[in-house]
Amino acid sequence: MAVSLWRSRTASSALNLFNNTLRCFSSEATNSSPHSTRESMMYSDINSRIGSCMPLSAMRIGTIIHNIELNPGQGGKLVRAAGTSAKILKEPTSAYCLIQLPSGVKKLIDSRCRATVGVVSNPSHGDRKLRKAGHSRWLGRRPVVRGVAMNPVDHPHGGGEGKSKSGGRFGRGSLTPWGKPTKSGYKTGPLKRKR
């Protein structure tokens, strides 16, 4: 098994080299005793193999999975961050499978979609401390400056004498640097009837 770590990835990627797995398994079965053959058949269930990728319909209830597709053949979209995993809550016998995501949200996903058994590696990724401000810049994160601390030319919240308020009854609501409403966007629903 070759393990490589990409610079842009948070978890190490494992490349499994199983080209002749079936042939090796059959040759082991012929050369071994009946007891060891029965034991190897018990553990040959693909659901118990961490790193196996298969459709959700082939998995059992309670299986821990990651890298889940949203549409069949689209490629993994959900549960890909370091140390994350999801769980199958209901037996995937119907067209849809109920899955609990790391956030706790339960989601119905097409049973033909594929997923990988196990947990994404490097669970301690979120625990690391950034040593200095420059470390944050190395990761491509720019400084965050509040709009009220800027000048009016730079932000709609900028300007004013002293610490000025920018929302509520003191002025306009919160806006983006480009002048669009922050909280819920523009009102698009039907206007309420005036009584």
CATH number at residue 23: 2.30.30.30
Helix ranges (H only) for the chain are: 21-31, 34-42, 133-138
95: containing domain: 3-117
Average pLDDT taken over every residue of the chain:
79
- HSE-up of residue 63 (Cα within 13 Å, Cβ side): 29
Token pair recorded at residue 124:
């301690």
The pTM for the full model equals: 0.60
124 inside domain: no
178 inside domain: no
Chain segment 93-104, per-residue pLDDT in tens: 789 999 999 999
pLDDT at site 49: 78
Higher pLDDT, residue 179 or 44: 179
Rounded Cα–Cα distance for residues 104 and 136 (Å): 29
Contact 14, 1 (CB under 8 A): yes
23 confidence band (pLDDT: 50, 70, 90): very low
**Order of strands, edge to edge, in the sheet holding 106-110?**
53-55, 114-117, 64-66, 86-88, 96-100, 106-110
